[in-house]
Structure formats: structure tokens, C-alpha cells
Amino acid sequence: MSPVRLLSALSAAALLFAAGCSGGGSDSSTAQPQVPQPTGTLEVIHASPDAPDVDVRVAGLEIAGSVPYKGVRVSAYEVGDYPIEVVGNVPGGDVTVIPAAGQAAPTVTIGEDQRVTVVAAGEVAGIAPIVLTDSPPAIADDEVRLRVLHAAPAAPAVEVYVTAPGDPLGAPLGTFAFGETLTPDAVVVPEGAYRIRVALPGSPSTVVYDSGAIELPGGADLLVAAVASITTGASPVSLLATTGSTTLEFLDVDTPSDVRVVHASPDAPNVDVVANDDFASRPVVDLAFGAGTDYLGLPPGDINVKVVPTGADAPVVIDADLTLAQGTSYSVYATGLLADIAPLVLVDDTRRVATEARVRILHASPSAGAVDIYVVPGGTGGDLSSAAPAFSGVPFLADTGYVELAPGSYDVVVTGAGSTVPAIGPVTLTLDGGGLYTAAAIDQVNGGVPPTLLLLDDLAP
């Protein structure tokens, strides 16, 4: 039940109780109509790039759970003062991040028809609320109202240019630093196509963000937050635009897709990778079994990928059509024995969270059946006598997804499904907060068991 409906229900119950307790015993009294209470809107934005998912509590009641980075939650409230808490979801429990330890919860005042926005901003070690209070006027159908906030903690002060898509920069709309709004008041512009560029102050040629042509719809009242980019590409920011009911993200126009290739076919030779039949310019050359490339920035969209023996044009052992999304990272594994070699495409989440280590394990050993994966405290020698598998019956080509673990030491053991006899491990891993760890169980060279581990990301040798 929403906070407004809850308050209304409580008010109605109180009126009924008072009527039942009044003297005279008459049934002729007429209940007074419920008077609607004036309301405003509370909007909460998660803009802390290295913070975990969060719960949002208003006046002690949770209004939103597990809000991810760049997530927006909106609720209506009767006018009044409300304490706000933001609670981080960390492995093993929850930790209040707003307010900071020893401080009182910040209180926001919601007035009639006001839109109050609380932005949880800054890196997690110094996360704090930015509170914006707005009394939105009526917006004409052919106009757009804009408020712009700098909410990217690692980005410097910048200048912002808003032009027609093909126009030169001209004069900046304003300059702002982290925690500031671009202009004291909202800016109203005609609806239509625009281009937003962000540059270093006094150096308009140093553009650090370029939206390309974007459409601003008439009648919209937009809060646009420059937030830290956690996607691919060089731009330090993206733009998060919210109307209070709809949220859009505008990436830098040159944001690529990131692709890495991993050779996990045990009896296949070293290989080259060819993109869109350009055999003369190969993005991956001489990739050996058990190795992976760095991420390669590729244009988003449709792409054909062929895998051939190193230095040759044939045979083509993998011929795959992929669609790459802008700002998304992928791992493409060449899996299986050579006779049945096939691509496995996984979407990678490369955001680093300061309060946790993030681990993903893939079963890519064609000679092994289903496996159990144990994750036990480090220093126990991989003792499984009282342990239950963290993942049971994992089949070939399945993965665990990203698992959030508290920083510390762990022993990882892989067994056959239903067995406690190690096939891999124990492998002792020391995991750090903010770490990203990927491992794939693969065959021995030329095929066969026992499997071994291919280590990627922060596990890579």
C-alpha cells in the first residue's frame, strides 16, 4: 500500500472509531466526507557508482527495495516532514549509508504539489544526499523544462553546451561542479532535436561527453543528472533524465560495445577472429587454448564473427551473427571439442561495488558432467564434511551468474554432481571489495579430465 493510501485508510478508521464511541446511540448521524489531503512527490535516485543496491526508507517504512545504481523510485506523500534513510544491501546483512554513522537521518519537507528529489550521490565511502525541491509549473505542449545536476563524483567541473544537432558549440549554457545544478532556475526550451556536449572549462575543444542528436519531447519536465559512466567507452559520464514517471539514459554517442574472446575449446588449434569478413584486418590473432583477450571496443549493432585457424582463411570453425548493444560488455567463449565447437556469448556486468567482491564461475569443460560448486571459508583446506554446495548440478555451459561475497579468503572446490570428491581445488581465493572475478572450468589440453580453471578479470595471472 502506498504511503498516501495508508494515511487515508488510517484517517478513515479513526473517523469510524470516533463515530462508534460517540454518545446518544442514535443511528441518524451522517458520516462526514473524507477531506483529501494535499500531496507532493518524493523521488529518490541511486547515483553512487560504487555502492551496492539499496533500500529506501521514509519515516521508518521501506518504500523501495534493492534499488540498483541509476534506479529511480517515486512515491506520493501528504505534505509534511519525512526522515529519509538509505540502506546498502551488502553480503551478510544491510548497512545504513544515509545517514552516516552517528548522524541523524536527513529530513525532507514536502509541500503541496512539490517534486522533492533526493539523490544518493558520491562514492560509497562519502555518500551523501543531494536534495532538490521544485514547484513545477504547467508546461506548454511545445516546450521542455530542464533542470541539470552534476552527480558524477569523480568528474571535474565542466561546461555544458546545448545546441541544435549540427550547430557549433557557441556559448556554454553554464558551468557546474559535483553537487551543483547548472543554472539557478530551470531552463525552458522549445521541443525538438538537440545535442548536449560537455567540455572542460575554458577548453571547449576538449569534449568529454557528446549526446549526439537526441529528441526532447514537448510537455516534459526533466531532471537531467550527469552520473558516473559504468559502461564502455572513454566518457566519464552519461545523462540520466527522469520526468518523475519515466527514466531515460543518454550515453555518449561514441560509446562502443566491448567484446572479449576466450578460447575454451581444448583440441582446437590457435585461432584468429575475423569481423564482417575482413580477413585482412583481424581483431584477434593467434589466440591459444586457455587464453582470453582484453576487451575490444566494437561499433554497436549487427556483426558477423568468424573463427579460423591462425594465419588461414579456412576452415571457418565458428560463423556467428551477433547483435551488440551500445555500452554493453560481452565475453564470447569458443566452447566444446573441435568437432562440435560453438560460441557461447555471455553479457558481462563490469561495475565494481566497493562493499563486495563479485564472482562468476562458468562450466566450460566438455568432458565433465554436471558439477557442484562449493565456496567455503578460506584456511579450511576445502573441508566439505559439513558444507553444502553453493551451486548444485551445474551443467555444461551454465554459469553461476555474479555472486556477491564479503571481502575475505575463500576456498573454491568443484566436484561431480552429488559427490564431495574434488575435481578442481581447493583453490584459495583472496577477494577484495570492488573486485571482479571470473573463472571457467575447462578441459585439459587436447581434452579430458580432470578439469582446470581458466582465470579472467582480477584472477588473471
Profile the chain (461 residues) by mean pLDDT over runs of 10 residues.
37 37 48 81 97 97 96 96 97 94 95 97 96 96 98 97 96 97 96 98 95 96 97 96 93 98 98 98 98 98 98 98 98 98 98 98 97 93 91 98 97 95 94 98 94 96 88
- What is the chain's length? 461
- Of 348, 372, 399, the residue at which a domain comes to its end is 348
For β-strands 237-242 and 247-250, DSSP reports them as: antiparallel
Dist CA 262 CA 260 (whole Å) = 7
Dist CA 297 CA 385 (whole Å) = 46
* Residues 292, 214 share a domain: no
* Residues 230, 213 share a domain: yes
Q: What is the pLDDT of residue 6?
A: 33
Q: Where residue 78 sits, what CATH number does that domain have?
A: 2.60.40
- Domains contained in the chain, number: 4
Answer positive or negative: Cα dihedral of 108, 110, 111, 117.
positive
HSE-up (13 A, CA, CB side) for residue 41: 16
Q: Nine-digit cell at 383?
A: 573441508
Q: What is the pLDDT of residue 30?
A: 63
* Residue 434 counted as domain residue: yes
Dist CA 146 CA 395 (whole Å) = 51
Q: What is the pLDDT of residue 31?
A: 67
Dihedral over alpha carbons 105, 111, 113, 118 (to 10 degrees): -20
Per the CB < 8 A criterion, the answer to whether 440 and 262 are in contact is: yes
Q: Nine-digit cell at 143?
A: 516546450
Burial of 244 from C-beta contacts in 10 A (0-12 / 13-18 / 19+): middle
Per the CB < 8 A criterion, the answer to whether 258 and 232 are in contact is: yes
* Residues 420, 448 share a domain: yes
* Residues 176, 84 share a domain: no
Per-residue exposure over 56-70, b if at least 16 CB sit within 10 Å of its own CB, e if not:
bbbeeeebbeebebb
* Residues 195, 155 share a domain: yes
- Of 107, 135, 163, the residue at which a domain comes to its end is 135
Q: What is the pLDDT of residue 26?
A: 46
Domain extent, residue 193, equals 138-255
Per the CB < 8 A criterion, the answer to whether 437 and 431 are in contact is: yes
* Residue 21 counted as domain residue: no
* Residues 362, 461 share a domain: yes
Q: What is the pLDDT of residue 379?
A: 85
- Of 325, 348, 371, the residue at which a domain comes to its end is 348
Q: Nine-digit cell at 135?
A: 514547484
Instruction: Please name the residue that has the C-alpha cell 554493453.
Output: 328
The angle subtended at Cα 450 by Cα 447 and Cα 453, nearest 5°, is: 85
Task: Report the chain's terminal Cα–Cα distance, integer Å.
Answer: 52
* Residues 61, 125 share a domain: yes
Peptide bond into 137 cis (omega under 30): no
* Residues 146, 116 share a domain: no
* Residues 130, 190 share a domain: no
Which amino acid, one-letter code, is at 433?
Answer: G
Q: Nine-digit cell at 59?
A: 519515516
* Residues 178, 243 share a domain: yes
Query: What string of DSSP letters covers 83-94?
Result: EEEEEEEETTEE
CA 11 to chain centroid: 40
Dist CA 272 CA 313 (whole Å) = 9
Q: Residue 6 is inside which H or E element, if any?
A: helix 3-21
* Residue 48 counted as domain residue: yes
Which amino acid, one-letter code, is at 218?
Answer: G
- Helices marked H in 47-92 — which ranges? none
Q: What is the pLDDT of residue 364?
A: 98
Q: How does DSSP classify residue 18?
A: H
* Residue 420 counted as domain residue: yes
* Residues 457, 361 share a domain: yes
Q: Is 165 helix (H, G, I), strand (E, B) or coil?
A: coil
* Residues 385, 304 share a domain: no
Dist CA 70 CA 89 (whole Å) = 15
Per the CB < 8 A criterion, the answer to whether 323 and 304 are in contact is: no
Dist CA 249 CA 263 (whole Å) = 34
Q: Helix (H) and strand (E) counts for the chain?
A: 1, 34
* Residue 340 counted as domain residue: yes
189: nearest Cα among 214, 217, 155, 167: 217
81: nearest Cα among 97, 105, 63: 105
**Contacts of 435 by beta carbon, 8 Å cutoff, 6+ apart:** 352, 357, 358, 407, 458
Q: Nine-digit cell at 376?
A: 567455503
* Residue 50 counted as domain residue: yes
Can you list the positions of beta strands (E) in 217-317? 221-228, 237-242, 247-250, 257-263, 271-275, 284-287, 296-298, 301-309
